[in-house]
Structure 1
Amino acid sequence: MEIKKLYDKVHHLVKEFTPEIIFHRRELHKIPELAHYEFKTAKYLAKAISEFGVTPKTGVAGTGLTVDFRGTGQLSIGFRCDIDGLPISEETGLEFSSAHPGKMHACGHDAHTAIGLGVVKVLHALGTEIPGNVRVLFQPAEEIQPGGALEMIADGAIDGLDAIFSVHVDPTIETGNIGVKFGPHLASVDIFEIQIFGEMGHAAHPHLSVDSVLVASKVVMALHSIPSRKIDPLHQIVITISMIHGGDAKNVMPAHVTLGGTIRTLDEGVRKQIPEIMKTTIKGITSAFDATYKLDIIKGAPVLYNDFKCASILMQTGQKILGYANALELPTPRMGSEDFSNYLTHIPGAQIRLGTNCSGCKEHSLHSPYFTLDEESIPIGVELFVMAILEYLTQNDNH
């Protein structure tokens, strides 16, 4: 079938399936589960996909699933959706709010997963009209570092794929629009913990102890100076100290203080430099005050680089479906991170931002207990990605 007729057919299929897709989104929203514990979610997905008439592969990376479609061409493309929730108590007041206390889908993974279910249902309806092979990946544990993508890769989830797409909802973009960034889209992230060891003493006699709190404060200030004084200002880097703990009494100088935070950059070369710079900086300060230290860095997601060809297909598909003005090229990268980037170190691909903010609605950020999204964005996501998949398979098969 020619691509224009496929657009029409997919549009009608998505319209027909939308009530069911929204139903699944709401059911998933009720049962958010944390990374690696998405047992109810995995069971729900397996049942829903089976009821579509498709057999999923379960137990991938523990609680992940994959669904394969064999078409008429040789090329293969993947579409990845993340399925985990966050340790946040929901305060949206929605009728379908989280039924799991202290857990919430506050980052839109329920919508990503519902879009994935919609893609599965539409592809199944297309059958042999698919001009190639497609794999839909339902990935656990995106919200932790180093993240579930590495486990999916280790379990063979992208074996045989030529490219991969992904989506992330975006409450800063209005529904009916998408944002596409070519090249570096999201930053790398590494998590660090620093332990400062001093000598406990009485608050009245600081000269008789080694003040771990003072040393820690010097370390915080010095680390914040690294981006501006140790790194070329043309490179974007953010070092954030987001956790500090030390002491239990107001009149006792603690022997130990713990600091924690993240390192984010848009350049893998700069990323490799930072640990050694941090070690040198911390060592100099602690030595000057007769303290010692221990630095641990957990390597997280790399920089997310959108492949030009894949991003172009998503942009062009968005222009055809939504209108030229509604497929926006994002002007700058963002300093958030996403472990989808791990797939892109193996195969080309791209992630786009799907607008989910209805006109005139109050905007709440991702990871907020008040975060909601416009459900009209979900069928848009389904149609966009089904057609982008078909465009990729058609365009590449013709070259």
Structure 2
Amino acid sequence: MKSKLMQMLESRRDEIIALRRHFHENPELSFHEEETARYIADFYRGKDVDVQTNVGGNGIIVTIKGGRPGKTIALRADFDALPIQEETGLPFASKVPGVSHMCGHDGHTAYMMVLADCLIQMKDEIPGTIKIIHQHGEELTPGGAKGIVESGLLSDVSNLFGIHLLPFASAGTIGYHAGYTCTGRAYMKLVIHGTGGHGSSPHLANDSIVAGANFVTAVQTIISRRINPFDVAVITIGSFDGKGTFNVIKDSVTLEGDIRYLTDSTKEKIEFELKRLVRGIEEEFGVKCELTYTPDYPPLYNDPQVTDKVRQWLEAANDKDIKEVKECPPISPSDDFAYYAKMVPSSYFFIGCTPKGVEKPVYNHNPKFDIDEDALLVAAKAVGQVVCGYYGLE
């Protein structure tokens, strides 16, 4: 079956690319992917599978029931785009102003649709059930994965697998990492209330900008003095809204920040220290603070045993398109695949996609981001190899 599946995927390489280009031209933002979801659902129309739409929003779950009983696994691909104006100059560039697939989700969806169709045609040989998750809203809080998990439709799943296109290497290279692999993240908003006044008489006011500026500096000591140097953590204050008039002392300012951490214990430490620091700012400067701290995607934890199996299956693939399988370090971006990985032992790995002839590729979320489309077939084959390995299909 494995050889047959790989041959089927190779024969449909151009179709995968055509699908990717269709999605690339017609991007939709997170939680607004109505046309994309409809296009995906229509692809499965008339096929011998169960298709559930509007799962947790615009999500779709396609259930492929094998010819023999066995475990249920799930494969996930996301399909939302970003609020970025594309600058690639591609002939199939986004037709939607200010919206584009600058993260590779168009490719994820394209390879998964064709792989799923091939598995549907071969389902009588599968000793188990495969659920294909076409997921919306990965790029925007609270994340489409959360709603899909909460739907309960994955309660029978034993293990879950997913990939992400990443220009860490050329097409043909696959990267894996066991344990904590992607950071979790949290959103922070701090409103500092002082007392407004005339710029010439600061003693009659209480300057919220001074308190805010102190916070911006002091908050970095959480990373440098409270977190183990061997742990990964970042606090970024991305917005400081203190605009006013040059000779007026502001009565309040608003700061917003992005917080990343690689482990749950680091997450808890940062939250504790941040709240303690805010109390100190209130005491030191005589201001009142309103802190909003919202944990978002959890850290993504790849089950070591499942990930080691993935490594073994890929290394044993003996496939001309899968040229190298190597361990890679954790990455700093977050991904809501983490919700699936908290639900069941899972593995999330990376498909190299650096465009040919490019030495220093731009990374995901850049307006010039592009991929080597050969990576799409690699992705399909890699996940296909995982399916065959999982079910012992030769």
Q: Give the shorter-chain TM-score range.
A: over 0.9
Q: Equivalents in 1 of 2:298, 2:271: separation in Å?
A: 15
Gaps of 5+ in 2: none
- CA displacement, residues 196-224 of structure 1 (integer Å, 9 cap, x when unaligned): 11112222222221111111110011111
Q: Is the 8 A contact 1:240 1:261 kept in 2?
A: yes
Q: Is the 8 A contact 1:200 1:252 kept in 2?
A: yes
Task: Decide which of 364, 369, 377 is 2:367's aligned counterpart.
Answer: 369
**2:283 is equivalent to residue 273 of structure 1:** no
Query: Which residue matches 1:34?
Result: 29
Q: Equivalents in 2 of 1:370, 1:206: separation in Å?
A: 48
- CA displacement, residues 3-51 of structure 1 (integer Å, 9 cap, x when unaligned): xxx2211111001111111111111111211111110110111112226
Query: Which residue matches 2:386?
Result: 388
Q: Equivalents in 2 of 1:207, 1:95: separation in Å?
A: 62
Query: Which residue matches 1:46?
Result: 41
Query: Which residue matches 1:126?
Result: 122
**2:308 is equivalent to residue 335 of structure 1:** no
Query: Which residue matches 1:15?
Result: 10
Task: Decide which of 230, 233, 245 is 1:234's aligned counterpart.
Answer: 230
Check 1:324–1:96 CA distance in 2 against 1; reply closer, same or farther (3 A cut): closer
**One-letter identity of the residue aligned with 1:221:** T
How many residue pairs were aligned? 389
Task: Decide which of 208, 227, 240 is 1:244's aligned counterpart.
Answer: 240
Query: Which residue matches 1:105?
Result: 101
- CA displacement, residues 149-188 of structure 1 (integer Å, 9 cap, x when unaligned): 1100111232210000011111122111011001111111
Query: Which residue matches 1:222?
Result: 218
Runs (4+) of structure 1 moved beyond 6 Å? none
**2:351 is equivalent to residue 354 of structure 1:** yes
Q: Is the 8 A contact 2:174 2:322 kept in 1?
A: no
TM superposition score normalised by structure 1: 0.93
**One-letter identity of the residue aligned with 1:393:** Y
Q: Equivalents in 1 of 2:265, 2:209: separation in Å?
A: 33
In terms of fraction of residues, the more helix-rich structure is 1
Q: Is the 8 A contact 1:131 1:390 kept in 2?
A: no
Gaps of 5+ in 1: 1-5
Q: Is the 8 A contact 1:146 1:299 kept in 2?
A: no
1:322 is displaced (CA, Å) by: 5.5
Query: Which residue matches 1:3?
Result: none
**What is the DSSP-based 3-state SS (H/G/I as helix, E as strand, rest coil) of the residue aligned with 1:57?**
strand
**What is the DSSP-based 3-state SS (H/G/I as helix, E as strand, rest coil) of the residue aligned with 2:301?**
strand
- CA displacement, residues 227-282 of structure 1 (integer Å, 9 cap, x when unaligned): 12122333222111111111232222221111111221122122112222111111
Query: Which residue matches 1:191?
Result: 187
Check 1:169–1:324 CA distance in 2 against 1; reply closer, same or farther (3 A cut): closer
**One-letter identity of the residue aligned with 1:368:** N
State the identity %. 32
Task: Decide which of 70, 74, 79 is 2:70's aligned counterpart.
Answer: 74
Query: Which residue matches 1:85?
Result: 81
**What is the DSSP-based 3-state SS (H/G/I as helix, E as strand, rest coil) of the residue aligned with 2:219?**
helix
Check 1:176–1:52 CA distance in 2 against 1; reply closer, same or farther (3 A cut): farther
Query: Which residue matches 1:297?
Result: 293
**One-letter identity of the residue aligned with 2:103:** C
Q: Is the 8 A contact 2:16 2:114 kept in 1?
A: yes
